[in-house]
Amino acid sequence: MEVQRADERALAMPAPKAVAPWGPATDPPTPDWSAVQLPPSWVDELRLFTRLSDMGKFLRRLFGPRQAVELPADLPGRHLVPSYVLEEFHHLPNGHFSHRFSESYVLWFNIAMLGRMTRVRKHIARMFAGFRAVLDLGCGGGDLAAAVKAVGVDDVVGLDVSPYMLRQAALRHPGLRLVMGAAERTGFSEARFDGMAVCFLFHELPPSAQDAALDEIHRILAPGGRLVICEPAPEQFRDNLWQLFRKAAVTGLWWRLLARLVYEPYVAQWHERDPKALLERHGFTLLEDKSDVPFRTLVAVRS
Ligand SMILES: C[S@@+](CC[C@H](N)C(=O)[O-])C[C@H]1O[C@@H](n2cnc3c(N)ncnc32)[C@H](O)[C@@H]1O
């Protein structure tokens, strides 16, 4: 019988070579970003403490009007970077694209959030315990991806549009698989993951890119897969000081200060959207929508 013959053939064949535990060979490249030589951006070339004119340029960019990010001509994966990313988010000179500020951003983001990022990342990670494969979209320094690995998921990948951020993630979490790409064009195959974590990314995308990213997530998430999105809570931007104080005590005032000071060009447009309707339009069912200043966490399932 044909079935028997197939079984015999299988038995006669040498054992398959150890397949990497992390998934299909069709994944986009995951180099060791700590070993990739990234060209310095203009910010990295400033001699801040020895050249007064460099310090002047730096301060003008820090406190003056925002300008477009300049990508080094020889930046690997330059063609993958969408133009809307070329903003000086959070007032960072050259945005997410420098050695100097990707390192300090990862550190200071956690400090400015008063340690809450660690807690929320652990909370998100626990929602993926027992999952097969999880992608951390917009992974930055890779702490969420590492937290997901820590709950026992073997196949975890982090994706970010900035190779400087990926380098930080690789240095902080050796062995983490990291891909350079845009949220709306990841390069993964269909249904590649059964879990998707997105932390503090959507509010950095203009609405058209938010829509495109949700379409892409729908494509690479398996039916029934779980999507967890954590973004700044709208109350942090909308509530008056008294309301914030009642919700988060003195820290509420700090969250408001951050909301006022930090340059987030698309956050208002993100907060204008109704997550339930948005997710439904892109093929997800919203299971949970929880606001706990400074976070709003959405849990959805891919239909
Ligand atoms: C606010 S940080 C959050 C990083 C990380 N998720 C965390 O919780 O620490 C946003 C990250 O998203 C990345 N990013 C921004 N736009 C992106 C896009 N279109 N596609 C992929 N990553 C993007 C940035 O480079 C940055 O590392």
Residue 92 Cβ inside 6 Å of ligand 1? The answer reads no
Pick 168 or 20 by higher pLDDT. 168
Element (H, E) at 226: strand 221-232
Nearest 5°: phi and psi at 13? -75, 145
8 Å CB contact between 102 and 168: yes
Q: What is the Å distance from ligand 1's center to 198 Cα? A: 9
Per-residue pLDDT at 134 exceeds 90: yes
Atom of ligand 1 nearest to the CA of 198: 6
Atom of ligand 1 nearest to the CA of 209: 19
Cα separation values, 221 from 21, 133, 193, Å: 18, 10, 5
Please indicate, yes or no, whether the overall pTM of this predicted structure exceeds 0.95.
Answer: no
Per-residue pLDDT at 105 exceeds 80: yes
Residue 229 Cβ inside 6 Å of ligand 1? The answer reads no
pLDDT for 24 equals 67
Per-residue pLDDT at 143 exceeds 80: yes
Residue with tokens 């951020």: 165
Q: What is the Å distance from ligand 1's center to 13 Cα? A: 45
Per-residue pLDDT at 222 exceeds 90: yes
Per-residue pLDDT at 12 exceeds 60: no
How many alpha carbons lie under 13 Å from residue 63 in its C-beta half-sphere? 5
Please tell me the least confidently modeled range out of 16-25, 213-222, 278-287. 16-25
Residue 165 Cβ inside 6 Å of ligand 1? The answer reads yes
Residues 6+ apart with CB under 8 A from 144: 121, 124, 125, 136, 158, 197, 199
pLDDT for 47 equals 93
Residue with tokens 């809450």: 116
Per-residue pLDDT at 269 exceeds 60: yes
Digit-coded pLDDT (tens) for 28-55? 999 999 999 999 999 999 999 899 999 9
pLDDT for 17 equals 36
Q: What is the Å distance from ligand 1's center to 231 Cα? A: 11
Residue 146 Cβ inside 6 Å of ligand 1? The answer reads no
8 Å CB contact between 167 and 36: yes
Query: Average pLDDT for residues 53-77, to the nearest whole number?
Result: 92
pLDDT for 233 equals 97
231 DSSP β-pair partners? 296
